[in-house]
């Protein structure tokens, strides 16, 4: 992701978490627990990311100074000018089209997950998202993908539904189906 798109995503998530926390303050005491539990750490992490993003140019200047200093030390040792090459991350896209494609794909995964939660609920959206992500983006085998998705989904259910007793949003389509089946 480019710096601008990272910052835009951070500000978007900051707005989402701020809205979540603000709305939850009007809820009854028992109902505001989950939104505050997720929203407050999310808010703090977004603010931290914004601070780190604004400090990033200062960190790069320090790195350049350290690189220059190391080159000077090496030049004194070997007796001639030395320039260190800069390592490139192998996995990083080298062209603009690839970077844009990756950013669009990231947004598709994010918005697809949100749509899945709204339509079918957490318990259906999480395994579908994990299977799609692990298979397509991580390149995991089908066996590994299904195993990890199954373990994560069961753990999610046991932690939230059984352990914490939290009733998660079942989804609009799921509600319609359950209402039709109930009569």
Q: What Cα–Cα distance (Å) separates residue 115 from each residue in 59, 142, 165?
A: 38, 24, 24
* pLDDT tens-digit readout, 3-48: 677 888 899 999 999 998 899 888 887 788 888 888 888 888 889 8
- What does the pLDDT read at residue 80? 78
Is the pLDDT at 135 greater than 50, yes or no?
Answer: yes
Residue 170 backbone phi and psi in degrees, to 5: -80, -15
At 118, which helix (H) or strand (E)?
Answer: helix 96-120
- What does the pLDDT read at residue 124? 92
Q: How confident is the model at residue 59 (pLDDT cuts 50, 70, 90)?
A: very low
Is the pLDDT at 150 greater than 60, yes or no?
Answer: yes
Question: What percent of the chain lies above the pLDDT cut of 70?
Answer: 88
Mean pLDDT of the chain: 83
């Amino acid at each position: 992701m480019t710096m601008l798109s990272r910052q835009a995503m951070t500000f978007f998530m900051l707005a989402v978490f701020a809205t979540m926390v603000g709305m939850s303050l009007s809820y009854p005491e028992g109902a505001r627990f989950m939104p505050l539990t997720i929203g407050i750490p999310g808010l703090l992490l977004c603010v931290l990311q914004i601070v780190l993003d604004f400090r990033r140019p200062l960190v790069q200047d320090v790195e350049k100074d350290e690189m220059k200093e190391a080159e000077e030390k090496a030049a004194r040792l070997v007796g001639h000018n030395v320039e260190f090459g800069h390592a490139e991350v192998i996995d990083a896209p080298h062209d603009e089209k690839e970077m844009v494609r990756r950013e669009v794909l990231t947004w598709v995964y994010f918005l697809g997950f949100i749509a899945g939660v709204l339509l079918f609920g957490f318990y259906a959206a999480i395994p579908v998202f994990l299977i799609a992500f692990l298979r397509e983006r991580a390149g995991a085998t089908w066996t590994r993908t299904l195993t990890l998705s199954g373990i994560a989904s069961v753990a999610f259910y046991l932690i939230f539904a059984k352990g914490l007793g939290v009733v998660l949003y079942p989804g609009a389509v799921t509600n319609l189906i359950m209402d039709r089946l109930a009569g």
